[in-house]
Amino acid sequence: MTDTNGITISPANIEERKKKDIRAGDNVKVFQKIQEKGKTRLQVFEGLVLSVKHGKEAGGTFTVRKVASGVGVEKIFPIYSPLIDKIEITKRSKVRQAKLYHIRDKATKEIKRQMRNTRMIPEDAVVAETDENEVTPEEVVEVAPKTEETKK
């Protein structure tokens, strides 16, 4: 955007970002400029848009959530930030809510359900199996130590 003297106010292409129409439920790739040791590189943050706040105003933001190494990571990006090189919408989902904050709880519930389905094997059960089946040392699997949860 430029004013009457031809001076650039923001290096971000404001008209292009207004046309993007980012909504909750979109899967997006945000290409963020990272400055390291005097060099600029692009880092991609790909995830689900949970919310868009303040629409297409100058201070508008959108929240993106992704799961990295089993941990949920959320970032809030200003729509017109000069540190964002480009925004790609990879997938658009039909959602019935403007803010998808319930996705956070859904992810934790799913993890808890998976943990409930896994069982810890007590040490003495593995020792009893080795006597019967004559397992070689290469075939021995790591066994979790006894905790209060496994004793119950």
How high is the mean pLDDT of the chain?
75
The per-residue pLDDT for range 49-95, each reduced to its tens digit, is: 888 888 888 888 899 988 888 788 889 998 888 888 888 888 888 88
Count the neighbouring beta carbons within 10 Å of the beta carbon of residue 151: 7
> pLDDT higher for 140 or 25?
25
Is 104 part of a structural domain of the chain?
no
- HSE-CB at 3 with a 13 A cutoff on CA atoms is 4
Where does residue 31 rank: exposed (0-12), middle (13-18), buried (19+ CB within 10 A)? middle
Percent of the chain, pLDDT > 70? 67
Is 29 part of a structural domain of the chain?
yes
Q: For residues 104 and 141, what is the distance between their CA atoms, to the nearest angstrom? A: 34
Listed residue (41, 61, 43) closest to 51, CA to CA: 61
The per-residue pLDDT for range 33-61, each reduced to its tens digit, is: 888 888 888 889 998 888 888 888 888 88
**Which residue segment(s) compose the domain that 90 sits in?**
14-99
Is 86 part of a structural domain of the chain?
yes
> pLDDT higher for 107 or 127?
107
* Per-residue pLDDT, 11: 62
Is 106 part of a structural domain of the chain?
no
Q: For residues 109 and 41, what is the distance between their CA atoms, to the nearest angstrom? A: 36
Instruction: Identify whether the C-beta of residue 82 lies closer than 8 Å to the C-beta of residue 63.
Output: no
* Per-residue pLDDT, 29: 92
Is 37 part of a structural domain of the chain?
yes
Encoding tokens for residue 22?
A: 């980012």
* Per-residue pLDDT, 10: 60
* Per-residue pLDDT, 44: 92
Q: What is the CATH number of the domain that holds 36?
A: 2.30.30.790
Is 80 part of a structural domain of the chain?
yes
Domain count, the chain: 1
Is 39 part of a structural domain of the chain?
yes
Average pLDDT over residues 10-18: 71
Is 131 part of a structural domain of the chain?
no
